[in-house]
């Protein structure tokens, strides 16, 4: 990490400049992103919306350093992510990003505690400290007493809480949530959203969330809408902006 330079301290946490992403080539080429400019400040809660195929998922993958743009510049904390190797991006994710997926993506037949410990293992945290932090993270999502249950023994809402604990246990800068409430009923969904908003408000973690549900998008401060590979509109939410 030390080799990377921070160009300007006053810059946004995340800045996308004229990002394009093309899958395939020639006449079969699919232009998923056609020149996206986006800035996200540290501590923001941003909802990303848009119909299927609008490019929002591709954009999320690029934001989460899982994918690289075909052209354009992505700066994270001033670092040029585009110049990083596969392992370089993995290290970036390991240290700064937490991920929450629609399908939870917990390891089956593995206790909640061991699931939450997983990112800490890759960060080389010693076992004792790891258990402690994983327990704290589970307590923070309201799952105290469920540490030794496997995903199959937990409800969907509880599984997503475990996933959020796993994302938050490394104290990330950015929490990337890809339709986190997509597999949950609206009551559980609202509980998850409250949890995300409280982490955003109390711990200052930047949240970027993809959602189809306008009701869920209201929890965010800002909504970015994608259409045909471009940002169609951006709006500040009154409710989110107020908090």
Partner 1 sequence: MIWETVVLALRAIRRNVLRSFLTILGIVIGVAAVITMVTLGDGATEQVRADISSLGSNMLQIRPGQGFRGPGGVRIAAERFKIADVHAIEREIYGLEAVAPISDQAAQAIYGNRNWATSVMGSTNDYLAVRDWQLSEGRVFTEGELHSGRAVCILGSTVVRELFGDQDPLGAFIRLDRLSCQVVGVLASKGQSSFGQDQDDMVLVPLKTLQRRIMGSTDVEAVMVSASDGVSTQAVREDIERLMRERRKIAPDKDDDFHVRDMQEIVSTLTSTTRVLTALLGAVAAVSLLVGGIGIMNIMLVSVTERTREIGTRLAIGALEREVLMQFLIEAVVLSSLGGVFGIILGLSAAALGAHLLMVPFVLNPGIIAVAFLFSATVGVVFGFFPARQAARMDPIEALRHE
| 94 touches partner 1 (CB under 8 A) | yes
CB of 178 to partner 1, least distance (A): 9
CB of 216 to partner 1, least distance (A): 21
Residue of 3, 25, 28, 86 interacting with partner 1 (CB under 8 A):
86
**Per-residue mark of binding to partner 1, 137-176 (x: CB under 8 A):** -----------------------------x----------
Residue of 91, 188, 190, 227 interacting with partner 1 (CB under 8 A):
91
| 114 touches partner 1 (CB under 8 A) | yes
Of 9-17, 95-103, 189-197, 230-238, the segment contacting partner 1 by CB under 8 A is 95-103
Bridging pattern class, strands 97-100 and 174-178:
parallel
| 122 touches partner 1 (CB under 8 A) | yes
92-96's contacts with Cβ under 8 Å and 24+ in sequence apart are: 92/65, 93/64, 93/65, 93/66, 94/119, 94/122, 94/123, 94/170, 95/1, 95/123, 95/170, 96/172, 96/173, 96/174
Provide the edge-to-edge strand list for the sheet that holds 30-40: 30-40, 14-23, 71-76, 79-80
The rounded distance, in Å, linking the Cα atoms of 163 and 7 is: 34
Instruction: Summarize as ranges the residues that interact with partner 1 (CB under 8 A).
Output: 61, 64, 66-67, 86-87, 90-95, 97, 99, 101, 103, 105-110, 114, 118-119, 121-124, 166
């Amino acid at each position: 990490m030390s080799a990377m330079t921070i160009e300007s301290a006053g810059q946004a946490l995340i800045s996308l400049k004229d990002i394009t992403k093309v899958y395939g080539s020639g006449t079969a080429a699919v232009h998923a992103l056609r020149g996206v400019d986006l800035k996200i400040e540290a501590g923001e809660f941003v909802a990303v919306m848009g119909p299927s195929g609008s490019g929002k998922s591709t954009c999320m993958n690029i934001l989460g350093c899982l994918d690289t743009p075909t052209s354009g510049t992505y700066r994270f904390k001033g670092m040029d992510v585009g110049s990083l190797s596969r392992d370089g991006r993995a290290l970036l994710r390991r240290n700064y990003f937490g991920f929450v997926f629609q399908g939870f993506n917990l390891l089956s037949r593995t206790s909640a505690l061991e699931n939450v410990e997983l990112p800490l293992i890759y960060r080389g945290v010693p076992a004792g400290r790891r258990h402690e932090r994983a327990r704290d993270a589970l307590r923070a999502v309201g799952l105290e007493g469920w540490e030794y249950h496997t995903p199959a023994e937990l409800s969907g809402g509880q599984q997503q809480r475990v996933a959020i604990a796993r994302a938050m246990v490394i104290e990330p800068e950015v929490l990337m949530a890809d339709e986190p409430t997509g597999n949950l009923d609206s009551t559980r969904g609202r509980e998850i959203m409250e949890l995300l908003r409280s982490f955003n408000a109390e711990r200052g973690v930047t949240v970027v969330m993809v959602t189809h549900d306008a009701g869920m998008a209201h929890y965010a401060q800002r909504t970015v809408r994608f259409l045909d590979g471009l940002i169609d509109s951006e709006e500040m939410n009154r409710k989110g902006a107020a908090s």
